[in-house]
Structures are given as C-alpha cells and as structure tokens.
Amino acid sequence: MKLRFVLIFLIVFILAFFALNSRFVYANLKFLFEYKNIAQNIIKSSPQPPKIVKNLPLPDKATLTISKIGVSAPIVFNVPNTTNDIYKNLENGVVHSSDTPKPGEGGVSVILGHSSAYPWYKGAYGSVFAILGKLKVGDTFSVTYEDGRTFNYSVKELIIFSPFKSNDQLSTIEKNSKNSLVLLSCWPIGTNYKRIAVYAEII
C-alpha cells in the first residue's frame, strides 16, 4: 500500500513538474536535438574590439545572440530599475540593467532574462535563459545593434550564487574595468532561490 502511494505521488509530481516547466523541457530537448552538435560560430572579423565612432551613442535597439543554446532575443533598454518594471519588460525580451553601461560602452554590463515561466505566461521570452547553464568557458555570443555595430563576447566564468549573500567572485567582477557582460537569471529552474551569472569579456 505504501509503495503504491509513493509511486502515485512520484507520477503526479513528475507530471506537475513537466506541466509547469514545459518551456524548460522544450528548450532542453531542442538543445539536445538541434544545437548540441552545432559548432560555435567562428568570428571572422578581426579579434580587436570593434571601433566605435566617437560621439555616436549606441542605439536603443539590439539583439542578443547565443548560437550554442539557440537564443536570439531583443534587448530592452531604458527600463526603470524596479522589480515590477523589469518583470513587465521581460515579456518583450531580455532586459538591460539600466544602472550599468550598454554592452560595448565599456565597463560591466548586465542583462537579465527569465529561466522559466508558467505555461500561461503571456510573454514569448519566459524561458529565454532556460539552458544558460549549458554555456562553458570559451563559448561565444554577440550583441548586435540596429546600426550594425556588433560586440562579440567570450565566456570566462559561470557563477551560481545566492542573492541574499555576498559573493567574492561577483564583487571582483563588479570592481573590474574590463569591457564585459554578465547574463543573469534565476537558478535552479522553476525557482528564484539562487541566481546564475555568466560572465563574459569582449573579444
């Protein structure tokens, strides 16, 4: 009798998990069958940082592309730094943290994205960072602005941390002056208990 109860409980739990995290499951299956064997894009341009025209600000429209995990999402800029505003704008893409420089401007930029969302979530980007943890040191991704300027990044570090505690690795990153980008999301999938940060430097 007890064994039967345990089996029923496990079946219900598994079905509930898949129902509530269907986007995460889909992202993993897509990665497994479509992206796992795709080689990283080779950056054909010079390895030098892109030249920026002086006094020409970067546009407010850009796309984040992470080929390895099949991500191509608009970056939403000029979002007030409040929880409600950030969550609302995450429905439209990934959100640039407005208190950091834009990617490519110099210093440490931060981009936020959902790792999972309930099936009834109305945005199209509820699981855009679902498999962010599959990135490894050396993987590359890019940010392309509407005027064609593209900034390529190489992953240097993945950090799992608690938002309620200080973290030496993050403190070191925040203090550096390198032209870099941090991709940030909730971790593990389906919770906001911790965060995952992917730290990358411009190529």
- Identify the pLDDT of residue 106: 93
3-state secondary structure of 157: strand
SS3 16: helix
Instruction: Indicate whether 105 belongs to any domain.
Output: yes
CATH number, domain containing residue 38: 2.40.260.10
> Is 177 part of any domain?
yes
* 65 within domain boundaries: yes
Q: pLDDT at position 30, please? A: 57
Residue 106 inside a domain? The answer is yes
pLDDT in the model for residue 21: 59
199 vs 34, higher pLDDT: 199
In 3-state terms the chain splits into helix, strand, coil percentages (rounded to 5) of: 30, 25, 45
- Specify if 52 maps to a domain: no
**Structural domain contains residue 31:** yes
pLDDT value, residue 142: 98
Quote the Cα angle for 15-161-78, to 5°: 90
State the pLDDT at residue 143.
98
Least confident of 3-12, 104-113, 154-163, 164-173: 3-12
Give the number of domains in the chain. Answer: 1
pLDDT in tens, 42-89: 334 444 455 545 468 999 999 999 999 999 999 999 999 999 999 999
Amino acid identity, position 143? V
Q: Between 37 and 86, whose confidence is greater?
A: 86
- 50 lies in a domain? no
Query: Model-level pTM greater than 0.85?
Result: no
Q: Which residues of 1-36 are buried (b: 16+ CB within 10 A; e: fewer)?
A: eeeeeeeeeeeeeeeeeeebbbbbbebbeebeeebe
Position 17 scores a pLDDT of: 60
| 66 membership: H or E segment, kind and range | strand 61-66
51 domain residue, yes or no: no
**122, 193, 101, 183 alpha-carbon torsion, rounded to 10°:** -80
The range of the structural domain enclosing residue 122 comes to 2-43+57-202
Residue 24 has pLDDT above 80, yes or no: no
Cα distance between residue 195 and residue 134, in whole Å? 15
For position 20, what pLDDT does the model report?
Answer: 57
**pLDDT tens digit sequence for 105-163:** 999 999 999 998 777 777 889 999 999 999 999 999 999 999 999 999 999 999 999 99
